Amino acid sequence: MKQTFRSIKGTFDILPDRYEIDGSVVEASAAWVELEQTIRNVLSRFLFAEIRPPMLEELAVFERGVGESTDIVSKEMFTVPRLRETYVLRPEITASVMRAYLQHRLDQRAGSQRLFYIGPCFRAERPQKGRFRQFHQFGAEFIGSSDARADAEIIAAMIAVYRALGISDGRLRLNSLGSPGARTRYKSALQAYLARYESDLSETSRQRLQSNPLRILDTKDERERKLLDEAPRLTGFLEPDDVAHFDRLTGFLDDLSIPFQIDPLLVRGLDYYSRTAFELESDELGAQSALAGGGRYDGLAEVLGSSVPVPGVGFAAGIERLFLALQSRGAHMAAQAKPDVFLVALGSTAERWSVRHAQELRDAHLSVAFDTLGRSMKAQMKEANRLGAAMAVIVGEQELETRTALVRDMRVGEQTSVPFDQLQDYVTRRIREGSSA
């Protein structure tokens, strides 16, 4: 038997029509395009400009940028060995954006930079509903301002994208991780507290106790959550400037009528955050409830080699999760485009005619399809119907002789003869008038 191939587990094809795979519905490519267009429209109202970094980066960009002790870097990266170097398929895009920002000296441009991206990311996680190995993110980064207004802009832009798509009930959880000094002091206090209960901790948490104790705050383990009830809170360790920044941000969110919950246990899985951290969740997503997340990363530029600190704040959102949320509320999503015109040609002279006329009609901005399988008139009409064509233009020997085509408005079932030289005007007018014509 011949060898056949399937897409790698946790990856999927986006096809002209929607389909189901492993319990997930993959939307049609037209729905992806429409969604991306909405994202672009909304983010450009906030003056975010698109950046498209490469999908391959040096390993160190993420080792340093995201943090070696994080799950993403320690367990989930797809590495690509190449001669003496190791590249990785990006697991997220913020570190790439900052790498590009520093490489191209965007800091030397006037003022702050507002950038957004849309594209695939790669993580070697166990595939399940809402969790893939190649998935897509969109996000925005506001680089160069440490003001809480930048944090508010990022959150407002994120919320605006979901609102534009009819999702306005996401739960926004918000926390301040403080500045590095506050976090170091808190880390020690948390370590000291949890060390007393080390034997009650899970294997993973015991490891994290040394490497990254803040991540234990994320635990789903009921027993550990109980322990955390009594644990010291990061809030108590914040410096006055951290508190002032957070108060200003929450004030702006109130002014913008963006509801949020303060969650002192929210830490996020990436190392580079400082001060603001947030996550947007939806109840419709099941176990993978995070639609988007983000925060401030004032230390990122320096770990990526900048000699001066560069403040920044951003969000990253999953497109597959967004589709899941839309699907669960039965949203109508764009499907494959239907032809304006299907040319039905009978005989070789008519076939030549149809190839040429297809071009003329397309030059007049109509979408045109025709048969290439030499099918019967009946089969060609059936195909026009299947494709949802608005009009069928039928040409055979007789029509060529009289230089008139038979034009059928498929939407209302009306048929009429139209001279060739009036065909384009006639069809264009009918299409513009819509099916009520």
Q: What are phi and psi of 23, to 5 degrees?
A: 80, 0
CA distance 150 to 144: 9
CA 383, 389, 391, 395 torsion-angle sign: negative
Closest separation in Å from C-beta 291 to ligand AMP: 5
Listed in order, strand segments (DSSP E) in 228-362 are 261-262, 274-281, 290-296, 312-318, 341-345
> Quick one: 91 or 339, whose CB is closer to ligand AMP?
91
Nearest residue to 172 (alpha-carbon basis) of 280, 271, 334, 252: 280
Closest separation in Å from C-beta 325 to ligand AMP: 10
Closest separation in Å from C-beta 280 to ligand AMP: 7
For residue 373, give every residue at least 6 positions away whose Cβ sits within 8 Å of its Cβ, in sequence order, or none: none
SS3 content of the chain, % helix, strand, coil (to 5): 40, 20, 35
Which token pair is 178?
Answer: 């403080």
Query: Strands across the sheet with 414-419, in order?
Result: 368-370, 341-345, 391-395, 404-409, 414-419
Asked if 146 and 233 touch (Cβ cutoff 8 Å), the reply is no
Looking at residue 43, the DSSP 8-state letter turns out to be H
Closest separation in Å from C-beta 119 to ligand AMP: 12
Q: Which residue ranges make up the site for ligand AMP (CB under 6 A)?
A: 92, 123, 125, 130-132, 135, 137, 269, 290-293, 316-318, 320-321
Closest separation in Å from C-beta 122 to ligand AMP: 9
**Distance of CA 197 to CAs 183, 265, 311, Å?**
21, 18, 37
The residue whose Cβ lies closest to ligand AMP is: 318
Closest separation in Å from C-beta 144 to ligand AMP: 21
Asked if 138 and 165 touch (Cβ cutoff 8 Å), the reply is no
> Quick one: 321 or 357, whose CB is closer to ligand AMP?
321
Closest separation in Å from C-beta 10 to ligand AMP: 8
Counts for the chain of helices (H) and strands (E), in that order: 15, 18
Asked if 121 and 137 touch (Cβ cutoff 8 Å), the reply is yes
CA distance 395 to 361: 15
CA distance 110 to 144: 10
Residue 262: count of CB within 10 angstroms of its CB: 12
> Quick one: 272 or 342, whose CB is closer to ligand AMP?
272
Which token pair is 285?
Answer: 């997503």
3-state class (DSSP) for residue 282: coil
> Quick one: 138 or 353, whose CB is closer to ligand AMP?
138
Looking at residue 318, the DSSP 8-state letter turns out to be E
> Quick one: 140 or 316, whose CB is closer to ligand AMP?
316
Nearest residue to 292 (alpha-carbon basis) of 196, 395, 159, 409: 159
> Quick one: 191 or 288, whose CB is closer to ligand AMP?
288
Closest separation in Å from C-beta 268 to ligand AMP: 6
Closest separation in Å from C-beta 318 to ligand AMP: 2
Closest separation in Å from C-beta 132 to ligand AMP: 4
> Quick one: 242 or 320, whose CB is closer to ligand AMP?
320
Asked if 290 and 127 touch (Cβ cutoff 8 Å), the reply is no
> Quick one: 182 or 266, whose CB is closer to ligand AMP?
266
> Quick one: 11 or 306, whose CB is closer to ligand AMP?
11
Closest separation in Å from C-beta 297 to ligand AMP: 12
Which token pair is 293?
Answer: 């997340």
Which token pair is 355?
Answer: 């190839």
> Quick one: 65 or 293, whose CB is closer to ligand AMP?
293
